[in-house]
Amino acid sequence: MSGAEELLRSKGLRVTRPRLAVLDVLAAGGHLEVDEITRRVRERLDSVSTQAVYDVLGALSRAGLSRRIEPAGSPARFEARAGDNHHHVVCRGCGDIADIDCAVGSAPCLDPNTAHGFQVDEAEVTFWGLCPACQTRRRADV
């Protein structure tokens, strides 16, 4: 039994080829758009619809095996690194995304002075800036 199969079973999910393929694609790392995930899944399976990939990603996310992020101005992206409340830094130039460890490690890692009676369970932290490649490009442009 592969690690991906064990992972699915440990979450009570049925083991299917599309689920295994999507987990495999996500395990390679990065923050992938659905189109990219679908393209890579199709390299492994003969035919799989985009809708099927969406369905798999939904099931994996609900089970805590993948995480969905959606930075402003970017389509939704998925990653295998879930459950550690890490944050992201997004490049304003090219949209590249990198992980930033959460200093606290569990949500919500920021404590509002007043939550107006809300029970807060998450703070969505996104850092914005310029990636190294875009900084170089920008210096070369001037």
**Using the rule CB under 5 A, is 52 a contact of Zn ion?**
no
Among 30, 39, 109, 126, binds Zn ion (CB under 5 A): 109
x/- mask, Zn ion, residues 57-96, rule CB under 5 A, reads ----------------------x-----------x-xx-x
| Start-to-end C-alpha separation, the chain | 56
> Cβ 132 to Zn ion, closest distance in Å?
8
Looking at the Cβ atoms of 1 and 140, the one nearer to Zn ion is: 140
Least CB distance from residue 85 to Zn ion, whole Å?
6
Residues 6 or more apart whose CB falls under 8 angstroms from that of 76 comprise: 33, 34, 68, 69, 70
Decide whether 25 or 131 has the Cβ nearer to Zn ion: 131
Contact criterion met (CB below 8 Å) for 53 and 59: no
134 is in an annotated binding site: yes
Taken in order 12, 27, 48, 96, the sign of the CA dihedral is positive
Q: Does 108 bind Zn ion (CB under 5 A)?
A: no
Q: Which of 52, 99, 108, 126 binds Zn ion (CB under 5 A)?
A: 99
Task: Give all strands (DSSP E) within the chain, no chain letters.
Answer: 32-33, 67-69, 77-79, 87-91, 97-100, 126-129
